Structure 1
Amino acid sequence: MQRAPWAKQRILDTANELFYDDGIRVVGIDRLISVSSVTKATFYKHYGSKDTLILKYIRSRHESMRQDLTATIDNSAGAEQALRQIVGDLAARISQPGFRGCAFLNAAAEFPDPQHPVREVVTAHREWYTDVLSNLLGDMGHPMPGDAADEFLLAIDGAQSGGYAGDPVAATTSLQRAVDRILGSATLKAA
């Protein structure tokens, strides 16, 4: 019975692609089923509803990002190198064809109620991301790592939005300048 786990993952992979490319609310169950090449019964067996799949999608996006950031940090010589690698990786993604901005900000825009389960996942993700940035900035000796992490995340948000809606080169160049200023504050304090 190897078919069921494959089908479940195939549905999630399809949702990951379609929800990101076209928007969560726009993509219907029939389209998910068709593109996933599964039956309606298989879809409902594994997810039960589109709402369940949406939550699995946004949680899997978080888990993927958590794994990627952990690997980046583990493979870096220090906090500054990790932060610069995070920005470099993001700049590369922003410059790729098909980039549609931040999946979490996109989801938040589609689910405006802050009490909605999707928004709760987005909020938890952003708090986690800010904590990661704050810890790295603290490791660098930044005098105000929490404030700097907020600025860093806002610069990331702006670059992702600007890279999608406008010029990816201008967005990533601006991001790099903002990050240089933030990291420069840590370097000045440490000196």
Structure 2
Amino acid sequence: MVACVANPKAGRPSEARSRLLDTASRLFYAEGIQAVGIDRIVAEAQVTRATLYRHFPGKEDLVLAYLNEVDRAIRSQADEVVAAGLPAADTIRALSKSIAQSIQSPGFRGCAFLNAAVEYPDPESPVHKAVLAHRQWFLETITELLAKIQETGAEPAARHFVMMRDGAMAAGCLFDPVLICETFLRGVERLLQVYAATDYSGPASA
């Protein structure tokens, strides 16, 4: 175990590491992970290769750090919505509106995790496992919220929600994002109505 030192900068990421991660995150999301090489990241971050490898032993470590930052941001946003203390259905509506806003934001290129899963299809890949861990957290979050409305069918309904969210994020960077988001939000409202009124068993029941 490393001893604690009375240093006001302790625990803070170095400027070079932050610059590397910010640069890699921007490029990975905009252009694709496999399309962006280490040389490009080093050049745009204005660091040496030695500096990069001191902070990230390999490109996969940098990819995992990128996804961890995206995961942290999404969880923080979701926690903020949940912390507002709204009824469960309204919390889901608020989360849906947040998703819609992200789809309509400048530079939107789809879901970072779905994009990464396409580039890392091997189930044993640490990147693929990071994608699955994020998605499992999101599914469990929606399931818990739906279970507060009624327990029966909470997970199938949550899977339906995630499916609609995935479709909206995929279509949102290909077609008119405003129209896609309107369709997505109407779908969420319909799902909530059907879920609250029936014994929900899956998308076919809606």
Deviation at 1:58, TM superposition (A): 1.2
Structure 2 residue 63 is the aligned partner of structure 1 residue 50: no
Deviation string, structure 1 residues 115-161 (Cα, Å, up to 9, x no partner):
21111111111111000000001112263110000000000000000
**Structure 2 residue aligned with 1:10:** 19
CA distance in 1, matches of 2:163, 2:196: 20
CA distance in 1, matches of 2:94, 2:151: 18
Distance 1:4 1:174, change over 3 A: closer
**Structure 2 residue aligned with 1:31:** 40
Correspondence for 2:138 among 120, 126, 129: 129
How many residue pairs are counted as aligned between the two chains? 190
Q: CA RMSD in A?
A: 1.9
TM-score after normalising by structure 1: 0.93
Structure 2 residue 186 is the aligned partner of structure 1 residue 177: yes
Larger Rg: 2
Q: Which amino acid aligns with 1:101?
A: G
Structure 2 residue runs of 5 or longer lacking an equivalent are 1-6, 200-206
Identity value in percent: 37
CA distance in 2, matches of 1:63, 1:4: 16
Structure 1 residue runs of 5 or longer lacking an equivalent are none
The runs of at least 4 aligned residues of structure 1 exceeding 4 Å deviation read: 1-4
Deviation string, structure 1 residues 165-187 (Cα, Å, up to 9, x no partner):
11212211111121011111233
Deviation at 1:189, TM superposition (A): 5.0
User: Contact 2:24–2:41 (CA<8 Å) still a contact in 1?
Assistant: yes
Deviation at 1:59, TM superposition (A): 1.8
Higher helix share: 1
